[in-house]
DNA sequence: GTCTATATGGGGATAGAC
DNA sequence: GTCTATCCCCATATAGAC
């Protein structure tokens, strides 16, 4: 049952949301792009909220799985952080989850907003744990985890604003340099 | 001439754009909130594009002036970077400029998009110059400038996603700690 | 479950008088 | 420069048949 109407609708919505955002995507757009009929859409998803929740939920699950995979490899802790920073990313497209943060349709919908919140809460916590494993104190690790995730999210913003994907790479390189330099210092101490 | 119709329209649009984004704000919303009449709006701004360009342009000017003020004080270079990072910010509101980066009405409008791009290009360049002044090599300074600005932008994303303004503060604290630690190391060398 | 038809409200603007 | 009236289109559904 991988491609019944419901699944096709969810997947199409995920793609359109990633490309244009939730607010800018109408149920009609999803119908047209998925090839599913109107009666079908409103049968499976009575309101746009329902469709949005399903699509955003699926996207968050996928993104979280991918991030956790990188952060939980058997490499040394610092290398996992560097790997997370350096993941290949479509900079000009923006983060499929982070972008939702300035999408009015998402911010106005408590259920969907909560799902986006959970994504970052889990991601921040995973990064924090890796940093603790690397030897950092709890509070320092917490702050630094926020910094690491923020650099990626902000890198997307810079790339989209300037139209230059290199802006994200530069932000990540700068962060990686700071982390690996600090590490050397810590080892020397 | 501080409060003729044109000025009031621009200022009202700036506020509404900051609060709800460009896509989610209609010319009608601006009319109503400004108290100006419909004929008046379409006289001064024939299309939404014109109104958006005026409002976003004004917001970018203000934001740039404020940032430059911080970055050009007579304090030591590193302190200016730390001051930029630590500026008081309304974390849950998001960056008035950065948020536009995922606003479809902005990304679809080349003129407005360009103005947003200029904001970040200038800001990044100003930060880079301060870092060079602090003794960093040109390419290292360029990367690190991206990192600094990205941390702020990403901090906003985290704060809005989780609903917690502390997320921005934590990201900034983490970055400040890394920068001041590295500095100590550099001085010791 | 899926179809076609229909409905309401707002977005973005135009027309023409004052 | 500003006013009121009007227009068309699309977003988001609802209705009821098959």
Confidence band of B181 (pLDDT split at 50, 70, 90): confident
* Local confidence band at B133 (pLDDT 50, 70, 90 cut-offs): very high
Give chain B's end-to-end CA distance (angstroms, integer). Answer: 58
pTM: 0.96
pLDDT at residue A2, as a whole number: 56
- The reply to whether A120 Cβ lies less than 7 angstroms from strand C is no
> What's the pLDDT tens digit per position in A55-65?
999 999 999 99
Question: What percent of chain B has a predicted confidence (pLDDT) above 90?
Answer: 94
Let me know: does B27 contact B41? Beta carbons within 8 Å.
Answer: yes
Q: 């802006």: which residue's tokens?
A: A167
Report, in angstroms and rounded to the nearest whole number, the Rg of chain A calculated over CA atoms. Answer: 19
Reported as type and span, the H/E element at residue A169 is helix A166-188
Nearest residue of B to residue A19, measured between CA atoms: B104
- Mean pLDDT value across chain A: 95
Work out the pLDDT band at B185, boundaries 50, 70, 90. Answer: low
Angle at alpha carbon of residue A140, lines to A136 and A143, rounded to 5°: 130
Q: Is B182–A179 a contact, with Cβ atoms under 8 angstroms apart?
A: no
Nucleic acid strand C within 7 Å of B120 CB = no
Collapsed DSSP state (helix, strand, coil) of residue B2 = coil
Residues near A175 by beta carbon (within 8 Å), at least 6 away in sequence? A85, A147, A148, A151, B147, B150
Binary contact (B179, A178; C-beta < 8 A): yes
Is the CB of A4 within 7 Å of strand C?
yes
Measured in angstroms, the CA of A54 and the nearest CA of chain B are apart by: 18
Residue B189: the pLDDT is 45
Q: Which of B99, B175, B178 is opposite residue A102, by nearest beta carbon?
A: B99
Q: Which of B92, B114, B100 is nearest to B164 (CA)?
A: B92
Average pLDDT for B92-116 = 98
Average of pLDDT values for B123-141? Answer: 98
For B145-166, the pLDDT digits (tens) are 999 999 999 999 999 999 999 9
Banded pLDDT at A185 (limits 50, 70, 90): low
pLDDT at A186 over 80: no
* H helix count then E strand count, chain A: 9, 0
Q: pLDDT tens-digit profile of B36-86?
A: 999 999 999 999 999 999 999 999 999 999 999 999 999 999 999 999 999
Given A146, A168, A171, which is nearest B167 (Cβ)?
A146
Shortest CB distance from B102 goes to which of A21, A142, A148? A21
* Neighboring chain A residues of B178 at a CB cutoff of 8 Å: 144, 147, 178-179, 182
Size of interface A-B (CB pairs under 8 A): 182
Instruction: Tell me the pLDDT band of A182, cut-offs 50, 70 and 90.
Output: low
Q: How high is the pLDDT of residue A183? A: 47
Give the model's confidence band at A96: pLDDT under 50 very low, under 70 low, under 90 confident, else very high: very high
């Amino acid at each position: 049952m991988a491609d019944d109407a419901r699944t096709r609708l969810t997947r199409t919505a995920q793609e359109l949301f990633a490309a244009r955002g939730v607010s800018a995507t109408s149920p009609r757009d999803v119908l047209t792009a998925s090839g599913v009929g109107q009666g079908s859409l409103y049968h499976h998803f009575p309101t746009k909220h329902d469709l949005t929740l399903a699509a955003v939920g699926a996207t968050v699950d996928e993104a979280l799985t991918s991030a956790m995979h990188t952060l939980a490899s058997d490499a040394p802790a610092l290398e996992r952080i560097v790997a997370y920073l350096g993941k290949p990313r479509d900079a000009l497209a923006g983060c499929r989850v982070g972008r939702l943060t300035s999408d009015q349709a998402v911010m106005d919908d408590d259920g969907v907003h909560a799902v986006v919140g959970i994504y970052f809460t889990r991601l921040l916590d995973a990064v924090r744990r890796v940093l603790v494993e690397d030897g950092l104190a709890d509070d320092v690790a917490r702050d630094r985890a926020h910094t690491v995730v923020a650099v990626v999210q902000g890198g997307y913003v810079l790339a989209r604003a300037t139209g230059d994907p290199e802006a994200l790479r530069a932000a990540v390189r700068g962060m990686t340099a700071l982390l690996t330099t600090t590490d050397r210092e810590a080892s020397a101490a």
